[in-house]
Amino acid sequence: MTEPGQGQNPGQAGSRAERLRNWWRPEGMWRRGLVLAVLAVLLGLVMMLHAQVPNAVGNLGSLLETFLPWLGLGIPVLLVVAVLRRSATALVALVLPVFAWVSLFGGQITDKAGSGGNLTVATHNVNADNPDPAATARDIVASDADVVALEELAGDALSAYRQGLAKAYPYHTVEGTVGLWSKRPLSDTKPVDIKIGWTRALRATVTAADGQKVAVYVAHLPSVRVNVKAGFTANPRDGSAKALGEAIAADPVKKVVLLGDLNGTMNDRSLAPLTSQMRSAQGAAGDGFGFSWPAAFPMARIDQIMMKGMAPVKAWVMPATGSDHLPVAASVKI
């Protein structure tokens, strides 16, 4: 019979036992991973205090808010590293970013859809370079929305949309590069000046089935870019959002819907002229984040359906078409 410890170096056995004791010592677990803990706290603070990140330098605050939900990906990364490092300090510090993310976005990952809507609206940036506008028109008709807004209407593609949508939508109006198609009568149609030098917004009145009037705005705010020298070039968009917000606030019709590509998310402070007076259909009645761009791998919800004087009951993202944006839709109770 082999005696305990026989066949092994007593020094090696003692060394292993010592390492095991050190691994489980509480002071070791708390001392390890201090850098990870600092990173976790910083991540949480950035999420909680995102509104305090200044826009003065390259619109950094708006850029952060555009992709704010994605900061949550840092949590599992830090968690895995903290476990591998056996750091209790880092694990405790992760409570802050988890709390911040859940507080900001926890409500968006649940299905908030209801029932009882009596008007379905949709919006789609069809992409000026869409290779098959006729197919996109068929997809739009298949959505069975009552009112559809289209952006980036250009060249010969406009004729394809007019032809493809004519039977399902007998009423339509086009101003510049945006258009509105409706199953219900349209009136008081006009362009809206959003201060960019050409027409990318319109306003029309839709008469619902029960006779109620709804003011519908269609807008395509200026594009934004990320530039190494200039940062987040969003100033033209921000000015257009202000002009559009003023037009909507002054509208005499109390029930208003805004449809369009706003090139910004509901988290972006620069869209406050709109978000301060209107509800997001996706935020109030959607299922998940409803990202709409880019279509191949959606990372942000920049195509918006917003309203005031009415209640959204359901919001969803429709299947991809030939565009680089996904169409979005909502059911509304007037």
| Of 271, 223, 269, the residue nearest 64 (C-alpha) | 269
- In terms of C-beta distances under 8 Å and separation of at least 24 residues, what long-range contacts does 228-233 make, across chains too? 230/58, 231/57, 231/58, 231/59, 231/60, 231/63, 232/58, 232/59, 232/60, 232/62, 232/63, 232/66, 233/59
Q: How confident is the model at residue 229 (pLDDT cuts 50, 70, 90)?
A: confident
Query: What are the structure tokens assigned to 24, written together?
Result: 């489980």
Domain assignments of the chain as residue spans, ordered by start: 10-109, 119-333
Q: Quote the pLDDT of residue 228.
A: 72
Q: Is the pLDDT of residue 10 over 80?
A: no
% of residues, the chain, pLDDT over 90: 83
Statement: residue 314 has pLDDT above 60: yes
The pLDDT value given to residue 226: 86
Cα–Cα dist 83/94, whole Å: 12
State the distance between the two ends of the chain, measured CA to CA, in whole angstroms: 88
Helix (H) or strand (E) holding 191: strand 186-191
pLDDT tens digit string along 112-144?
Answer: 999 889 999 999 999 999 999 999 999 999 999
pLDDT digits (tens, 9 = 90+) for 148-200: 999 999 989 999 999 999 999 999 999 999 999 999 999 999 999 999 999 99
Question: How is domain 119-333 classified at the architecture level of CATH?
Answer: 4-Layer Sandwich (3.60)
Mean pLDDT of the chain: 92
